[in-house]
Structure 1
Protein backbone atom coordinates (compact mmCIF):
# COMPACT_ATOMS: atom_id res chain seq x y z
CA UNK A 1 0.00 0.00 0.00
CA UNK A 2 1.33 3.43 -0.87
CA UNK A 3 2.14 5.68 2.03
CA UNK A 4 0.36 8.64 0.45
CA UNK A 5 -2.46 9.23 -1.92
CA UNK A 6 -3.10 12.24 -4.12
CA UNK A 7 -6.10 14.37 -3.29
CA UNK A 8 -7.75 17.32 -5.03
CA UNK A 9 -7.08 19.01 -8.33
CA UNK A 10 -4.04 20.77 -6.88
CA UNK A 11 -2.15 17.49 -6.60
CA UNK A 12 -1.60 17.79 -2.87
CA UNK A 13 -0.96 14.60 -0.89
CA UNK A 14 -2.46 13.40 2.35
CA UNK A 15 -1.61 10.37 4.51
CA UNK A 16 -3.22 7.21 3.17
CA UNK A 17 -5.73 5.47 5.39
CA UNK A 18 -4.03 2.50 7.02
CA UNK A 19 -0.44 3.76 6.68
CA UNK A 20 0.08 3.31 10.46
CA UNK A 21 1.61 6.77 10.70
CA UNK A 22 1.26 9.14 13.63
CA UNK A 23 -0.47 12.31 12.48
CA UNK A 24 0.94 15.81 13.13
CA UNK A 25 -1.98 16.65 15.46
CA UNK A 26 -1.05 13.67 17.64
CA UNK A 27 2.56 14.81 17.89
CA UNK A 28 1.47 18.39 18.58
CA UNK A 29 -0.80 17.33 21.45
CA UNK A 30 2.08 15.35 22.97
CA UNK A 31 4.32 18.43 22.80
CA UNK A 32 1.58 20.52 24.41
CA UNK A 33 0.86 18.10 27.25
CA UNK A 34 4.40 17.09 28.27
CA UNK A 35 5.45 20.34 30.06
CA UNK A 36 2.29 20.27 32.18
CA UNK A 37 2.88 16.65 33.14
CA UNK A 38 6.51 17.35 34.01
CA UNK A 39 5.57 20.27 36.26
CA UNK A 40 2.86 18.22 37.95
CA UNK A 41 5.25 15.36 38.68
CA UNK A 42 7.77 17.72 40.27
CA UNK A 43 5.11 19.34 42.47
CA UNK A 44 3.12 16.25 43.40
CA UNK A 45 5.86 13.67 43.76
CA UNK A 46 8.67 15.99 44.82
CA UNK A 47 6.68 18.15 47.25
CA UNK A 48 3.58 16.12 48.20
CA UNK A 49 3.25 17.78 51.61
CA UNK A 50 3.21 21.30 50.13
CA UNK A 51 0.20 21.12 47.81
CA UNK A 52 -1.66 23.79 49.79
CA UNK A 53 1.05 26.25 48.82
CA UNK A 54 2.20 24.93 45.45
CA UNK A 55 -0.64 23.08 43.74
CA UNK A 56 -4.09 23.77 42.31
CA UNK A 57 -5.78 22.27 45.36
CA UNK A 58 -4.77 20.92 48.74
CA UNK A 59 -4.23 17.15 48.65
CA UNK A 60 -4.22 15.21 51.91
CA UNK A 61 -2.63 12.90 52.81
CA UNK A 62 0.56 13.36 50.74
CA UNK A 63 0.29 9.74 49.55
CA UNK A 64 -2.62 10.72 47.32
CA UNK A 65 -0.53 13.49 45.77
CA UNK A 66 2.22 10.98 45.03
CA UNK A 67 -0.28 8.55 43.50
CA UNK A 68 -1.43 11.24 41.08
CA UNK A 69 2.19 12.21 40.44
CA UNK A 70 3.04 8.59 39.63
CA UNK A 71 0.22 8.49 37.08
CA UNK A 72 1.52 11.68 35.48
CA UNK A 73 5.05 10.19 35.36
CA UNK A 74 3.67 7.27 33.38
CA UNK A 75 1.97 9.82 31.15
CA UNK A 76 5.30 11.52 30.49
CA UNK A 77 6.80 8.22 29.33
CA UNK A 78 3.76 7.52 27.15
CA UNK A 79 3.76 10.91 25.42
CA UNK A 80 7.51 10.75 24.91
CA UNK A 81 6.87 7.53 23.01
CA UNK A 82 4.20 9.30 20.96
CA UNK A 83 6.91 11.74 19.89
CA UNK A 84 9.59 9.09 19.46
CA UNK A 85 7.68 6.35 17.63
CA UNK A 86 6.70 6.39 13.96
CA UNK A 87 3.91 3.78 14.10
CA UNK A 88 0.45 4.63 15.39
CA UNK A 89 -0.38 1.10 16.55
CA UNK A 90 2.45 1.27 19.10
CA UNK A 91 0.64 3.97 21.09
CA UNK A 92 -2.94 3.63 19.87
CA UNK A 93 -4.34 1.69 22.83
CA UNK A 94 -3.06 4.26 25.31
CA UNK A 95 -5.18 7.09 23.97
CA UNK A 96 -8.66 5.84 24.99
CA UNK A 97 -7.30 5.50 28.54
CA UNK A 98 -5.88 9.03 28.46
CA UNK A 99 -9.15 10.43 27.06
CA UNK A 100 -11.13 8.81 29.88
CA UNK A 101 -8.57 9.97 32.47
CA UNK A 102 -8.69 13.59 31.30
CA UNK A 103 -12.49 13.59 31.01
CA UNK A 104 -13.03 12.21 34.50
CA UNK A 105 -10.61 14.72 36.03
CA UNK A 106 -12.40 17.52 34.19
CA UNK A 107 -15.72 16.34 35.67
CA UNK A 108 -14.16 16.05 39.14
CA UNK A 109 -12.89 19.61 38.83
CA UNK A 110 -16.39 20.92 38.12
CA UNK A 111 -17.96 18.81 40.88
CA UNK A 112 -15.46 20.04 43.48
CA UNK A 113 -14.89 23.56 42.20
CA UNK A 114 -14.89 24.99 45.72
CA UNK A 115 -11.86 22.91 46.71
CA UNK A 116 -9.49 24.65 44.29
CA UNK A 117 -7.12 27.55 44.87
CA UNK A 118 -8.64 30.24 42.67
CA UNK A 119 -6.20 32.69 41.19
CA UNK A 120 -3.18 30.47 41.81
CA UNK A 121 -1.12 29.85 38.68
CA UNK A 122 -1.32 26.11 39.22
CA UNK A 123 -5.14 26.28 39.35
CA UNK A 124 -5.30 28.34 36.17
CA UNK A 125 -3.02 25.79 34.50
CA UNK A 126 -5.04 22.84 35.84
CA UNK A 127 -8.40 24.29 34.81
CA UNK A 128 -7.15 25.24 31.34
CA UNK A 129 -5.55 21.84 30.80
CA UNK A 130 -8.65 19.87 31.74
CA UNK A 131 -10.95 22.18 29.85
CA UNK A 132 -8.98 21.70 26.64
CA UNK A 133 -7.22 18.33 26.79
CA UNK A 134 -10.29 16.01 26.61
CA UNK A 135 -11.33 17.67 23.34
CA UNK A 136 -7.80 17.60 21.89
CA UNK A 137 -7.24 13.97 22.87
CA UNK A 138 -10.58 12.96 21.40
CA UNK A 139 -9.55 14.78 18.21
CA UNK A 140 -6.37 12.67 18.14
CA UNK A 141 -8.44 9.50 18.27
CA UNK A 142 -10.70 10.67 15.45
CA UNK A 143 -7.82 11.77 13.22
CA UNK A 144 -5.48 8.85 13.86
CA UNK A 145 -7.69 5.89 14.80
CA UNK A 146 -8.06 4.24 11.39
CA UNK A 147 -4.36 4.52 10.56
CA UNK A 148 -3.63 1.16 12.19
CA UNK A 149 -3.58 -1.52 9.46
CA UNK A 150 -3.41 -4.38 11.95
CA UNK A 151 0.06 -5.57 10.97
CA UNK A 152 2.81 -6.54 13.40
CA UNK A 153 6.21 -4.90 13.52
CA UNK A 154 9.21 -6.47 11.78
CA UNK A 155 10.47 -7.45 15.25
CA UNK A 156 7.36 -8.60 17.05
CA UNK A 157 5.57 -11.47 18.73
CA UNK A 158 2.09 -12.25 20.02
CA UNK A 159 0.84 -12.28 23.59
CA UNK A 160 -0.75 -15.65 24.31
CA UNK A 161 -4.51 -15.82 24.71
CA UNK A 162 -4.46 -16.99 28.38
CA UNK A 163 -2.17 -14.11 29.35
CA UNK A 164 -4.32 -11.61 27.46
CA UNK A 165 -7.49 -12.90 29.13
CA UNK A 166 -5.86 -12.77 32.56
CA UNK A 167 -4.66 -9.20 32.00
CA UNK A 168 -8.07 -8.21 30.64
CA UNK A 169 -9.75 -9.57 33.78
CA UNK A 170 -7.30 -7.63 35.95
CA UNK A 171 -8.01 -4.56 33.84
CA UNK A 172 -11.77 -4.99 34.12
CA UNK A 173 -11.49 -5.18 37.92
CA UNK A 174 -9.29 -2.09 38.00
CA UNK A 175 -11.63 -0.19 35.67
CA UNK A 176 -14.74 -1.20 37.61
CA UNK A 177 -13.12 -0.25 40.92
CA UNK A 178 -12.03 3.08 39.51
CA UNK A 179 -15.49 3.89 38.18
CA UNK A 180 -17.13 2.94 41.49
CA UNK A 181 -14.74 5.23 43.37
CA UNK A 182 -15.43 8.02 40.92
CA UNK A 183 -19.23 7.82 40.75
CA UNK A 184 -19.79 6.74 44.37
CA UNK A 185 -16.80 8.04 46.36
CA UNK A 186 -18.62 7.58 49.65
CA UNK A 187 -17.95 3.83 49.53
CA UNK A 188 -14.20 4.46 49.82
CA UNK A 189 -14.21 7.14 52.51
CA UNK A 190 -13.10 5.48 55.73
CA UNK A 191 -12.58 2.08 54.11
CA UNK A 192 -9.79 2.65 51.56
CA UNK A 193 -6.10 1.88 52.14
CA UNK A 194 -5.50 5.49 53.13
CA UNK A 195 -7.63 8.50 54.00
CA UNK A 196 -9.78 9.85 51.17
CA UNK A 197 -12.19 12.72 50.62
CA UNK A 198 -14.87 12.78 47.91
CA UNK A 199 -12.46 14.60 45.57
CA UNK A 200 -9.42 12.43 46.27
CA UNK A 201 -11.54 9.27 46.00
CA UNK A 202 -12.51 10.40 42.51
CA UNK A 203 -8.87 11.14 41.69
CA UNK A 204 -7.72 7.70 42.86
CA UNK A 205 -10.58 6.12 40.94
CA UNK A 206 -9.54 7.99 37.82
CA UNK A 207 -5.97 6.69 38.16
CA UNK A 208 -7.32 3.13 38.44
CA UNK A 209 -9.14 3.45 35.12
CA UNK A 210 -5.84 3.84 33.23
CA UNK A 211 -4.62 0.20 33.22
CA UNK A 212 -8.20 -1.02 33.02
CA UNK A 213 -8.93 0.86 29.81
CA UNK A 214 -5.64 -0.27 28.24
CA UNK A 215 -6.07 -3.95 29.11
CA UNK A 216 -9.50 -4.24 27.52
CA UNK A 217 -7.81 -3.93 24.10
CA UNK A 218 -5.86 -7.13 24.76
CA UNK A 219 -9.06 -9.00 23.95
CA UNK A 220 -8.90 -7.83 20.32
CA UNK A 221 -5.18 -7.25 19.71
CA UNK A 222 -2.46 -9.80 20.42
CA UNK A 223 0.52 -7.87 18.97
CA UNK A 224 3.28 -7.29 21.50
CA UNK A 225 4.27 -4.12 19.63
CA UNK A 226 0.80 -2.67 20.30
CA UNK A 227 1.39 -2.80 24.07
CA UNK A 228 5.18 -2.80 24.58
CA UNK A 229 5.64 0.95 24.99
CA UNK A 230 2.37 1.41 26.90
CA UNK A 231 3.46 -1.28 29.36
CA UNK A 232 6.72 0.65 29.80
CA UNK A 233 4.66 3.66 30.89
CA UNK A 234 2.63 1.52 33.27
CA UNK A 235 5.80 0.13 34.82
CA UNK A 236 7.11 3.66 35.36
CA UNK A 237 3.90 4.45 37.26
CA UNK A 238 4.05 1.20 39.23
CA UNK A 239 7.64 1.79 40.33
CA UNK A 240 6.69 5.22 41.67
CA UNK A 241 3.45 3.94 43.21
CA UNK A 242 5.30 1.23 45.12
CA UNK A 243 7.93 3.74 46.22
CA UNK A 244 5.17 6.10 47.40
CA UNK A 245 3.63 3.32 49.50
CA UNK A 246 7.01 2.65 51.12
CA UNK A 247 7.74 6.33 51.77
CA UNK A 248 4.23 7.04 53.08
CA UNK A 249 3.66 3.74 54.90
CA UNK A 250 2.71 5.63 58.06
CA UNK A 251 -0.32 7.01 56.18
CA UNK A 252 -1.71 3.55 55.37
CA UNK A 253 -4.79 2.45 57.33
CA UNK A 254 -3.84 -1.14 58.10
CA UNK A 255 -7.05 -1.71 60.04
CA UNK A 256 -9.02 -1.49 56.79
CA UNK A 257 -9.60 -4.77 54.94
CA UNK A 258 -8.54 -3.44 51.53
CA UNK A 259 -5.16 -2.07 52.61
CA UNK A 260 -3.13 -5.27 52.42
CA UNK A 261 -4.70 -6.36 49.08
CA UNK A 262 -3.99 -2.92 47.59
CA UNK A 263 -0.34 -2.97 48.70
CA UNK A 264 0.18 -6.57 47.56
CA UNK A 265 -1.52 -5.93 44.20
CA UNK A 266 0.77 -2.99 43.47
CA UNK A 267 3.93 -5.00 44.14
CA UNK A 268 2.72 -8.13 42.34
CA UNK A 269 1.60 -6.07 39.34
CA UNK A 270 5.06 -4.54 38.98
CA UNK A 271 6.75 -7.95 39.07
CA UNK A 272 4.20 -9.43 36.65
CA UNK A 273 4.63 -6.59 34.16
CA UNK A 274 8.42 -6.90 34.33
CA UNK A 275 8.35 -10.67 33.76
CA UNK A 276 5.89 -10.36 30.87
CA UNK A 277 7.89 -7.53 29.32
CA UNK A 278 11.19 -9.41 29.44
CA UNK A 279 9.60 -12.62 28.14
CA UNK A 280 7.83 -10.98 25.19
CA UNK A 281 10.83 -8.84 24.27
CA UNK A 282 13.12 -11.88 24.30
CA UNK A 283 10.62 -13.88 22.24
CA UNK A 284 10.31 -11.08 19.69
CA UNK A 285 14.09 -10.79 19.31
CA UNK A 286 14.49 -14.56 19.01
CA UNK A 287 11.83 -14.66 16.31
CA UNK A 288 13.60 -11.88 14.38
CA UNK A 289 16.92 -13.73 14.62
CA UNK A 290 15.39 -16.97 13.35
CA UNK A 291 13.47 -15.34 10.48
CA UNK A 292 16.47 -14.88 8.11
CA UNK A 293 17.49 -18.53 8.60
CA UNK A 294 13.93 -19.65 7.91
CA UNK A 295 13.81 -17.63 4.68
CA UNK A 296 17.18 -19.02 3.56
CA UNK A 297 16.02 -22.56 4.26
CA UNK A 298 12.89 -22.00 2.20
CA UNK A 299 14.98 -20.85 -0.78
CA UNK A 300 17.67 -23.51 -0.32
CA UNK A 301 16.30 -26.63 1.44
CA UNK A 302 19.84 -27.95 1.87
CA UNK A 303 20.93 -24.87 3.89
Structure 2
Protein backbone atom coordinates (compact mmCIF):
# COMPACT_ATOMS: atom_id res chain seq x y z
CA UNK A 1 0.00 0.00 0.00
CA UNK A 2 1.45 3.33 -1.02
CA UNK A 3 2.24 5.64 1.89
CA UNK A 4 1.35 8.96 0.25
CA UNK A 5 -2.24 9.64 -0.92
CA UNK A 6 -2.51 9.70 -4.70
CA UNK A 7 -3.39 13.00 -6.39
CA UNK A 8 -6.83 11.59 -7.24
CA UNK A 9 -7.47 10.85 -3.57
CA UNK A 10 -6.45 14.34 -2.52
CA UNK A 11 -8.41 16.16 -5.22
CA UNK A 12 -11.60 14.15 -4.68
CA UNK A 13 -11.36 14.85 -0.96
CA UNK A 14 -10.91 18.56 -1.60
CA UNK A 15 -13.81 18.61 -4.08
CA UNK A 16 -16.19 17.20 -1.46
CA UNK A 17 -15.40 19.89 1.13
CA UNK A 18 -17.37 22.82 -0.40
CA UNK A 19 -20.56 20.75 -0.52
CA UNK A 20 -20.15 19.82 3.14
CA UNK A 21 -19.49 23.45 4.08
CA UNK A 22 -22.69 24.60 2.35
CA UNK A 23 -24.68 21.80 4.03
CA UNK A 24 -23.30 22.68 7.48
CA UNK A 25 -24.15 26.37 7.05
CA UNK A 26 -27.69 25.65 5.83
CA UNK A 27 -28.48 22.97 8.42
CA UNK A 28 -27.14 24.95 11.37
CA UNK A 29 -28.19 28.45 10.32
CA UNK A 30 -31.55 27.80 8.64
CA UNK A 31 -33.00 24.45 9.78
CA UNK A 32 -36.54 25.78 9.30
CA UNK A 33 -35.82 26.41 5.59
CA UNK A 34 -34.34 23.02 4.71
CA UNK A 35 -37.21 22.26 2.34
CA UNK A 36 -36.14 25.25 0.26
CA UNK A 37 -32.36 25.41 0.82
CA UNK A 38 -31.57 21.73 1.39
CA UNK A 39 -32.59 18.46 -0.25
CA UNK A 40 -35.69 17.91 1.88
CA UNK A 41 -37.63 19.56 4.74
CA UNK A 42 -36.20 18.36 8.06
CA UNK A 43 -38.13 18.62 11.32
CA UNK A 44 -37.49 19.12 14.15
CA UNK A 45 -34.32 21.23 13.78
CA UNK A 46 -32.39 18.87 16.05
CA UNK A 47 -32.35 16.27 13.26
CA UNK A 48 -30.81 18.87 10.95
CA UNK A 49 -28.24 19.77 13.61
CA UNK A 50 -27.17 16.14 14.09
CA UNK A 51 -26.69 15.66 10.34
CA UNK A 52 -24.74 18.93 10.21
CA UNK A 53 -22.54 17.70 13.07
CA UNK A 54 -21.59 14.63 11.02
CA UNK A 55 -20.81 16.85 8.04
CA UNK A 56 -18.66 19.08 10.26
CA UNK A 57 -16.49 16.09 11.15
CA UNK A 58 -16.42 15.22 7.45
CA UNK A 59 -14.97 18.64 6.62
CA UNK A 60 -12.14 18.10 9.10
CA UNK A 61 -11.51 14.60 7.74
CA UNK A 62 -11.45 15.47 4.03
CA UNK A 63 -9.24 18.51 4.63
CA UNK A 64 -6.86 16.16 6.43
CA UNK A 65 -6.91 13.79 3.44
CA UNK A 66 -5.93 16.76 1.27
CA UNK A 67 -3.05 17.77 3.54
CA UNK A 68 -1.62 14.56 4.99
CA UNK A 69 1.58 13.05 3.55
CA UNK A 70 0.69 9.60 4.93
CA UNK A 71 -2.09 7.46 3.45
CA UNK A 72 -2.39 5.20 6.50
CA UNK A 73 -3.41 8.22 8.62
CA UNK A 74 -6.68 8.61 6.70
CA UNK A 75 -7.22 5.21 5.08
CA UNK A 76 -9.76 3.91 7.61
CA UNK A 77 -12.10 6.83 6.99
CA UNK A 78 -12.90 5.93 3.39
CA UNK A 79 -14.80 2.68 4.15
CA UNK A 80 -16.84 4.59 6.75
CA UNK A 81 -17.70 7.29 4.21
CA UNK A 82 -18.61 4.63 1.64
CA UNK A 83 -21.03 2.91 4.05
CA UNK A 84 -22.50 6.25 5.18
CA UNK A 85 -23.02 7.45 1.62
CA UNK A 86 -24.52 4.11 0.53
CA UNK A 87 -26.95 4.23 3.45
CA UNK A 88 -28.05 7.74 2.48
CA UNK A 89 -28.39 6.73 -1.18
CA UNK A 90 -30.66 3.81 -0.19
CA UNK A 91 -32.59 6.18 2.10
CA UNK A 92 -33.04 8.62 -0.76
CA UNK A 93 -34.33 5.98 -3.16
CA UNK A 94 -36.80 4.70 -0.55
CA UNK A 95 -38.19 8.19 0.14
CA UNK A 96 -38.02 10.00 -3.19
CA UNK A 97 -41.47 11.45 -2.61
CA UNK A 98 -40.22 13.30 0.50
CA UNK A 99 -37.45 15.19 -1.28
CA UNK A 100 -37.74 18.66 -2.73
CA UNK A 101 -37.73 19.21 -6.48
CA UNK A 102 -34.89 21.72 -6.36
CA UNK A 103 -31.20 22.17 -7.14
CA UNK A 104 -29.99 21.07 -3.68
CA UNK A 105 -31.74 17.72 -4.16
CA UNK A 106 -30.18 17.27 -7.61
CA UNK A 107 -26.74 17.92 -6.09
CA UNK A 108 -27.56 15.58 -3.19
CA UNK A 109 -28.58 12.76 -5.53
CA UNK A 110 -25.47 13.10 -7.70
CA UNK A 111 -23.19 13.20 -4.66
CA UNK A 112 -24.67 10.15 -2.97
CA UNK A 113 -24.89 8.18 -6.20
CA UNK A 114 -21.19 8.74 -6.93
CA UNK A 115 -19.50 8.95 -3.51
CA UNK A 116 -19.73 5.22 -2.61
CA UNK A 117 -18.22 4.29 -5.97
CA UNK A 118 -15.52 6.94 -5.63
CA UNK A 119 -14.54 5.80 -2.13
CA UNK A 120 -14.27 2.14 -3.15
CA UNK A 121 -12.32 3.09 -6.29
CA UNK A 122 -9.86 5.16 -4.25
CA UNK A 123 -9.31 2.29 -1.82
CA UNK A 124 -8.56 -0.03 -4.76
CA UNK A 125 -6.18 2.29 -6.60
CA UNK A 126 -4.29 3.18 -3.42
CA UNK A 127 -3.69 -0.50 -2.72
CA UNK A 128 -2.53 -1.07 -6.28
CA UNK A 129 0.42 1.32 -6.26
CA UNK A 130 2.97 -0.57 -4.23
CA UNK A 131 3.50 -1.58 -0.62
CA UNK A 132 3.67 0.82 2.26
CA UNK A 133 4.17 0.30 5.97
CA UNK A 134 2.87 -3.09 7.06
CA UNK A 135 -0.62 -2.59 8.42
CA UNK A 136 -0.72 -3.03 12.15
CA UNK A 137 3.03 -2.57 12.62
CA UNK A 138 3.99 0.19 15.03
CA UNK A 139 7.07 2.00 13.72
CA UNK A 140 9.45 4.06 15.78
CA UNK A 141 7.89 7.39 16.76
CA UNK A 142 4.36 5.94 16.88
CA UNK A 143 2.44 4.27 19.72
CA UNK A 144 0.18 1.23 19.94
CA UNK A 145 -3.38 1.47 21.18
CA UNK A 146 -3.75 -1.20 23.90
CA UNK A 147 -5.75 -4.26 22.89
CA UNK A 148 -8.31 -3.77 25.67
CA UNK A 149 -9.00 -0.20 24.51
CA UNK A 150 -9.34 -1.29 20.89
CA UNK A 151 -11.72 -4.11 21.76
CA UNK A 152 -13.85 -1.81 23.92
CA UNK A 153 -14.05 0.84 21.20
CA UNK A 154 -14.77 -1.82 18.59
CA UNK A 155 -17.64 -3.09 20.74
CA UNK A 156 -19.06 0.43 20.84
CA UNK A 157 -18.62 0.60 17.09
CA UNK A 158 -20.42 -2.70 16.59
CA UNK A 159 -23.33 -1.47 18.69
CA UNK A 160 -23.49 1.78 16.70
CA UNK A 161 -23.34 -0.13 13.41
CA UNK A 162 -26.09 -2.50 14.54
CA UNK A 163 -28.29 0.41 15.62
CA UNK A 164 -27.66 2.16 12.32
CA UNK A 165 -28.55 -0.98 10.36
CA UNK A 166 -31.72 -1.44 12.43
CA UNK A 167 -32.71 2.17 11.74
CA UNK A 168 -32.28 1.59 8.02
CA UNK A 169 -34.26 -1.65 8.00
CA UNK A 170 -37.01 -0.84 10.53
CA UNK A 171 -37.10 2.97 10.89
CA UNK A 172 -40.54 2.94 12.52
CA UNK A 173 -39.05 1.00 15.45
CA UNK A 174 -36.39 3.65 16.04
CA UNK A 175 -38.87 6.50 15.57
CA UNK A 176 -41.06 5.20 18.40
CA UNK A 177 -38.15 5.06 20.86
CA UNK A 178 -35.85 7.89 19.83
CA UNK A 179 -35.01 10.98 21.87
CA UNK A 180 -36.80 13.36 19.50
CA UNK A 181 -39.43 13.15 16.79
CA UNK A 182 -38.34 11.20 13.71
CA UNK A 183 -39.95 10.36 10.41
CA UNK A 184 -38.94 7.19 8.54
CA UNK A 185 -36.66 9.37 6.40
CA UNK A 186 -34.92 11.13 9.30
CA UNK A 187 -34.71 7.82 11.20
CA UNK A 188 -32.79 6.27 8.32
CA UNK A 189 -30.60 9.37 7.98
CA UNK A 190 -29.82 9.16 11.70
CA UNK A 191 -28.97 5.49 11.25
CA UNK A 192 -26.56 6.43 8.47
CA UNK A 193 -24.78 8.82 10.85
CA UNK A 194 -24.42 6.01 13.41
CA UNK A 195 -22.62 3.81 10.88
CA UNK A 196 -19.70 6.25 10.69
CA UNK A 197 -18.53 5.51 14.23
CA UNK A 198 -19.26 1.82 13.75
CA UNK A 199 -17.06 1.29 10.70
CA UNK A 200 -14.16 3.39 12.03
CA UNK A 201 -14.09 1.68 15.41
CA UNK A 202 -14.26 -1.83 13.98
CA UNK A 203 -11.16 -1.06 11.93
CA UNK A 204 -9.24 -0.85 15.22
CA UNK A 205 -9.39 -4.63 15.50
CA UNK A 206 -6.95 -4.89 12.61
CA UNK A 207 -4.74 -1.86 13.15
CA UNK A 208 -3.23 -0.83 16.49
CA UNK A 209 -1.31 2.28 15.38
CA UNK A 210 -2.54 5.48 16.98
CA UNK A 211 -1.34 7.39 13.93
CA UNK A 212 -3.90 5.44 11.85
CA UNK A 213 -6.79 6.83 13.95
CA UNK A 214 -5.49 10.16 15.21
CA UNK A 215 -7.11 12.22 12.44
CA UNK A 216 -10.33 10.21 12.53
CA UNK A 217 -10.71 10.62 16.27
CA UNK A 218 -10.12 14.34 15.96
CA UNK A 219 -12.95 14.50 13.41
CA UNK A 220 -15.21 12.37 15.61
CA UNK A 221 -14.52 14.57 18.63
CA UNK A 222 -15.47 17.62 16.58
CA UNK A 223 -18.73 15.94 15.55
CA UNK A 224 -19.49 14.87 19.12
CA UNK A 225 -18.83 18.36 20.46
CA UNK A 226 -21.19 19.77 17.82
CA UNK A 227 -23.85 17.23 18.81
CA UNK A 228 -23.51 18.24 22.47
CA UNK A 229 -23.95 21.91 21.57
CA UNK A 230 -26.91 20.98 19.35
CA UNK A 231 -28.58 19.10 22.21
CA UNK A 232 -28.19 22.10 24.46
CA UNK A 233 -29.41 24.62 21.89
CA UNK A 234 -32.34 22.44 20.75
CA UNK A 235 -33.15 20.91 24.16
CA UNK A 236 -36.83 21.77 23.64
CA UNK A 237 -36.91 19.20 20.82
CA UNK A 238 -36.09 16.37 23.24
CA UNK A 239 -38.93 14.06 24.27
CA UNK A 240 -38.22 13.02 27.83
CA UNK A 241 -40.89 10.33 27.89
CA UNK A 242 -39.13 8.32 25.17
CA UNK A 243 -37.18 5.22 26.31
CA UNK A 244 -33.97 6.17 24.48
CA UNK A 245 -33.72 9.84 25.49
CA UNK A 246 -31.70 9.45 28.68
CA UNK A 247 -29.57 6.54 27.31
CA UNK A 248 -28.80 8.55 24.16
CA UNK A 249 -27.71 11.61 26.14
CA UNK A 250 -25.61 9.42 28.43
CA UNK A 251 -24.04 7.68 25.44
CA UNK A 252 -23.10 10.97 23.78
CA UNK A 253 -21.54 12.25 27.01
CA UNK A 254 -19.71 8.97 27.59
CA UNK A 255 -18.44 8.86 24.00
CA UNK A 256 -17.15 12.43 24.22
CA UNK A 257 -15.32 11.64 27.46
CA UNK A 258 -14.01 8.28 26.25
CA UNK A 259 -12.76 9.53 22.89
CA UNK A 260 -11.27 12.57 24.57
CA UNK A 261 -9.50 10.46 27.18
CA UNK A 262 -8.12 8.03 24.59
CA UNK A 263 -6.94 10.92 22.44
CA UNK A 264 -5.20 12.72 25.30
CA UNK A 265 -3.61 9.51 26.60
CA UNK A 266 -2.33 8.47 23.16
CA UNK A 267 -1.12 11.98 22.36
CA UNK A 268 0.91 12.12 25.57
CA UNK A 269 2.46 8.74 24.82
CA UNK A 270 3.10 9.82 21.23
CA UNK A 271 4.88 12.95 22.41
CA UNK A 272 7.11 10.88 24.67
CA UNK A 273 7.77 8.34 21.89
CA UNK A 274 8.82 11.07 19.46
CA UNK A 275 10.99 12.70 22.07
CA UNK A 276 12.95 9.48 22.55
CA UNK A 277 12.94 8.32 18.91
Aligned partner (choices 111, 114, 131) of residue 113 of structure 2 = 131
Work out the CA distance in 2 between the residues paired with 1:247 and 1:105.
Answer: 26
For residues 288 and 204 of structure 1, do their structure 2 counterparts lie closer, same or farther at Cα, with a shift above 3 Å needed? same
- Report how many residues are paired: 273
Deviation sequence 1:184-225 (CA, Å, 0-9, x none): 101112221111111000000000000100001111110000
Alpha-carbon offset, residue 256 of structure 1: 1.0
Equivalences for residues 197-216 of structure 1 within 5 A: 197-216=183-202
Structure 1: 5+ residue runs without aligned partners? 1-17, 292-303
Given that 2:138 and 2:208 are in contact with CA atoms closer than 8 Å, whether structure 1 keeps it comes out as no
Work out the CA distance in 2 between the residues paired with 1:145 and 1:66.
Answer: 36
> For residue 253 of structure 1, what is the aligned residue in structure 2?
239
> Aligned pair 1:229/2:212, yes or no?
no
Structure 2: 5+ residue runs without aligned partners? none
> For residue 3 of structure 2, what is the aligned residue in structure 1?
20
Deviation sequence 1:163-186 (CA, Å, 0-9, x none): 001000000000000100011101
TM-score (norm 1): 0.87
Aligned partner (choices 149, 155, 167) of residue 133 of structure 2 = 149
Equivalences for residues 1-303 of structure 1 within 5 A: 18-118=1-101, 120-145=102-127, 148-150=132-134, 151-152=137-138, 154-291=140-277
Work out the CA distance in 1 between the residues paired with 2:132 and 2:9.
Answer: 14
Work out the CA distance in 2 between the residues paired with 1:111 and 1:228.
Answer: 35
Given that 1:153 and 1:225 are in contact with CA atoms closer than 8 Å, whether structure 2 keeps it comes out as no
For residues 77 and 198 of structure 1, do their structure 2 counterparts lie closer, same or farther at Cα, with a shift above 3 Å needed? same
Greater gyration radius: 1
Alpha-carbon offset, residue 154 of structure 1: 4.8
Work out the CA distance in 1 between the residues paired with 2:230 and 2:14.
Answer: 28
Deviation sequence 1:146-174 (CA, Å, 0-9, x none): 65422545531010011001000000000
Work out the CA distance in 2 between the residues paired with 1:215 and 1:72.
Answer: 18
Given that 2:81 and 2:119 are in contact with CA atoms closer than 8 Å, whether structure 1 keeps it comes out as yes
Given that 1:91 and 1:230 are in contact with CA atoms closer than 8 Å, whether structure 2 keeps it comes out as yes
**Higher RCO structure, 1 or 2 (CA under 8 Å, sep 6+):** 2
Deviation sequence 1:80-132 (CA, Å, 0-9, x none): 110110111000111100000011111111110011111x1211111111122
Work out the CA distance in 2 between the residues paired with 1:233 and 1:55.
Answer: 23
